[in-house]
Chains A and B, each alone.
Chain A
């Protein structure tokens, strides 16, 4: 049984709004009284996914659904896709352009963080079509 479902659009060209969806989700989970550790894990994973879709895919969408067992986060875009997912998951791998590196992005730690802070991660991607990342943070 789903307790709650949230869906947000991630605008592509707007760095000033990147992080808005993640912080809205965080606020909601706080209001609902979830444990701080769970909220932090969800927040970190969602932010990394959100910012990836801004930087690498010109925006997308994030949806979060909560049931008694887990928080499930799905981040989807119709951007350029990831040619080699295994490589993209490695710490330090990044194709981020210089323009965003100067803002502090491009360490190649976003996907590894998403893996580290969730119990399950599944990345599907097709070059030229888009990317879908599904993550689960279990309640216990």
Chain B
């Protein structure tokens, strides 16, 4: 499933996500991954995953670029720094945001990816 299709599932399922940066929504998603500690994410996040986190800063964007993460999903309506959004535009990193808690969001993504 690609990012665009996933976002459509959330829209039609009644828990729409907010699009923060659309770089390439045709990118495929391999799986879902959760963690907020950046070097754990670096070491463990599978390539092309959807990464659910509350860390909306510049360094999350850098980690996504370098670890080949497909999509950053900011959960819990956590704030995202403006310089992180600017960096995501520059580096072409996909970011969406949800008010759902990390676990709920991750299980939903997992459900759609496996269906």
Q: Please report A residues at the B interface, Cβ cutoff 8 Å.
A: 15-16, 18-19, 22-23, 26, 36, 40, 43-44, 46-48, 51, 103-110, 112-113, 116-117
**Interface membership of B59, Cβ < 8 A:** yes
Residues of B within 8 A of A107 (CB): 37-40
If A48-B39, A109-B43 touch, whether A103 touches B66 (CB-CB below 8 Å) is no
- Number of B residues, CB within 8 Å of A: 22
For the complex, would chain A's binding face be called helix, strand, loop or mixed by DSSP majority? helix
For the complex of A and B, the 4 pairs showing the least CB-CB separation, nearest first, are A19-B62, A109-B39, A107-B37, A104-B38
Q: Are B43 and A116 in contact (CB under 8 A)?
A: yes
**Interface membership of B94, Cβ < 8 A:** no
Q: Are B68 and A36 in contact (CB under 8 A)?
A: yes
**Interface membership of B21, Cβ < 8 A:** no
Q: How far is the CA of A19 from the CA of B60 in the complex (A)?
A: 10
14 A-B residue pairs with CB within 8 Å: A18-B62, A19-B58, A19-B59, A19-B65, A40-B67, A43-B65, A43-B66, A48-B39, A48-B42, A104-B37, A104-B59, A107-B38, A112-B43, A113-B39
